[in-house]
Structure 1
Amino acid sequence: MPVVSVSMPESLLQELDQFIEDHGYSGRSEAVREGTRGLLGEFDDVEYEDQDIICIITTMFDHHSGAEATLSELRHANHDLVTSNVHSHAGSACLELFVVEGRVEEISSYVSRLRAIDGVQTVEYSVLTADHSVLA
């Protein structure tokens, strides 16, 4: 099995180690492999295949990180996908909430690009189907 080196802040590593201890993992590699499988499996659900979905995405970042400008650029580049956007504050962090509607592949790509922005600490989302007959 190939060996992969991963860099992360000390605080995140401490959280990972505590998680490993609390949940009985044999080590960091096992926990990282499981997390990777989960990340790769996101949006890989045949339930959403070939239909529009609505996704509510919340990002959290430090205001001083410069992430806000990049988030804004990404939002504008995807104006056809992003139907709503709200900026808010929670303690010392900034929250950016996006409501997006489109095909699962487009939304999955958008979430991945949000996660790749330097300074973005968390990206969480929930998915709803856009079956308008249910909403009527």
Structure 2
Amino acid sequence: MENSEAMSLTVALLAAAGELVRRVNEGVAARGFADRPAYGFAFARLSSGGATATELAAHLGVTKQAAGQLVDELVSKGYVERRPHPGDARARLVVLTDLGRASTRAAEEAAADAVRQWGDVLGEGDVRALRELLLRIAPYGPIRPTW
């Protein structure tokens, strides 16, 4: 692939990702969760059973102090709670509350709405093919910010 083709593909993928994030954020806000987009990246990590603040920091690519501040903010807003860690008496596990899970569901619904609109443009078959192709080069994520 020539440099110009590679750059064109790069720009298109980044633009599509940016548009998807924008639409998800707007959809989440429209569903009553008008919070910082960083919450969604944290929720993506916490939704699989929770994490310690240290694990969350690694996932988000921030310091432990920044992750601790984010957890404090999420606790104060009722999205997460700290629990004793089942495998480490010194650690605390951060888990989603019912409100946090509702926010996550709102994001999932907003993402589904955005992708459905791709079907209107590309057709369902092409959207499925795009999904399969992207899963071949980025099969497991992680879904995290790139700040």
Structure (1 or 2) with the greater strand fraction:
1
| TM-score normalised over the length of structure 1 | 0.35
Structure (1 or 2) with the greater helix fraction:
2
